[in-house]
Amino acid sequence: MLPAFRVPKIILDTDPGGDDIFALFWLQSLVKQRFAELIAVTTVGGNVSTEKTFSSASRILSLGGLPDVEVGRGVAIAQSPDDASHIHGSDGMGNLSSQLPDPIHNYETARFSDDILIDRLNAIPGEITVIAIAPLTNLAAAEKKHPGILRKAKEIIIMGGALNCPGNITPHAEFNLWFDPEAAEIVLNSRCDLVMTSLDITRQLIFTREMAQSIAQTNPQSKLAQFLIKLCEFMISTALTYRETDGASGFLVHDAATLGYLFYPETILWKRAKVQIETRGEWTRGQTLIDDRNLAKQPANAWIATQVDATRFFTNFIEDLKILNKGSEKI
Ligand code: BDR
Ligand code: CA
């Protein structure tokens, strides 16, 4: 007899962001198929401000059909560096927010993301998987307020870092960990079994216009399909402008790699390593460094992704998005 599949309970920590939005749609499809339970979406500043990432998450949950999921507002960072609105649009959603209904969650009255993390992780220790696809500000704030809280997660899966490859925001640093390196340091020191999907594999995840069209085909008149096609076009245009894909016509769905690992683990290869972050370097702030030489002397803190089977990854991603679109509301 096959072992029973245990439906993971998930908190998604996110800063939408075009690729965050695709990841959140994928997760909503998995929830609707009863492969996952979405406990909360904790938003944070990063790609755009905390107000905007909160509103986007709310809108995307409504569009994907899960409007009742709690959305947390992001913890502020003392000195916010430049955002990534040049890639994701001034609203973080390809400048398409005005074409969607207003957010139904209220930013002013929402709980802060770190409080949600503390509350939920304390309520069911060892049961929640935290998927962090944004700067690690919320997770670090939770750990500072309540030391040891991150060890109460079943697992923490992070999109971040550039381990054996150049960065995407500086020559050495990847955006999420560069944005708040002090927060990243706290999270990297919080446990010894972090799971990290870095640019080393996410640079191979080029989502194309044809993929978006094949998803849309399952229900071409849906609001979701129309939105996905437009967001994809916007993301391809900025990816080409900023040479994110070496000229290939597509954009990188970095954040979706975390879900690839959790739901289709056969698509990614791993190795153990000690991952550290540079917080002081004049030219290297936010750089992630790995030590995998002698793990007996320098114990590892993470599993790092080394290879991805992009074909299999996209087969699963696209099939699940087709299922979400098929069941979604028409215009
Ligand atoms: C990461 O940076 C953000 O812009 C993306 O949403 C992703 O989380 C990739 O470096
Ligand atoms: Ca992100």
Which atom number of ligand 1 is nearest to the Cα of residue 133? 8
CA-nearest residue for atom 10, ligand 1, is: 175
Residue 320 beta carbon below 6 angstroms from any ligand 1 atom: no
Tokens of residue 291, six digits: 């030590």
Residue 62 covered by a domain: yes
Give the range of the structural domain holding residue 208, as residue numbers without chain letter.
Answer: 9-326
Distance from C-alpha of 242 to C-alpha of 166, rounded to nearest angstrom = 15
Pocket probe mutation, ligand 1, options 12, 13, 15, max atoms within 8 Å of Cβ: 15
Pocket probe mutation, ligand 1, options 25, 47, 137, max atoms within 8 Å of Cβ: 47
Q: How many structural domains does the chain have?
A: 1
Residue 1 predicted with pLDDT over 80: no
pLDDT per position as a tens digit, 212-253: 999 999 999 999 999 999 999 999 999 999 889 999 999 999
Residue 74 covered by a domain: yes
Q: What is the three-state SS of 238-281? A: HHHHCCCCCCCCCEECHHHHHHHHHHCHHHEEEEEEEEEECCCC
Distance in Å, CA 76 to ligand 2 centroid: 16
Look at residues 183, 189, 181, 119 and name the one whose alpha carbon lies nearest to residue 152: 119
Residue 47 beta carbon below 6 angstroms from any ligand 1 atom: yes
Residue 293 covered by a domain: yes
Residue 76 covered by a domain: yes
Give the 3-state secondary structure of residue 45: coil
Residue 3 covered by a domain: no
Residue 278 covered by a domain: yes
Number of H helices, E strands in the chain: 12, 11
CATH number of the domain at 144, please.
3.90.245.10
The residues facing 207 across adjacent strands are 251
Is the separation of the CB atoms in 277 and 158 below 8 Å? Answer: no
Distance in Å, CA 255 to ligand 1 centroid: 7
Residue 2 covered by a domain: no
Active-site residue numbers?
254
What pLDDT is recorded for position 80? 85
| Consecutive H or E run containing 40 | strand 37-43
Residue 134 covered by a domain: yes
| Consecutive H or E run containing 13 | strand 9-14
What pLDDT is recorded for position 331? 74
pLDDT per position as a tens digit, 8-23: 999 999 999 999 999 9
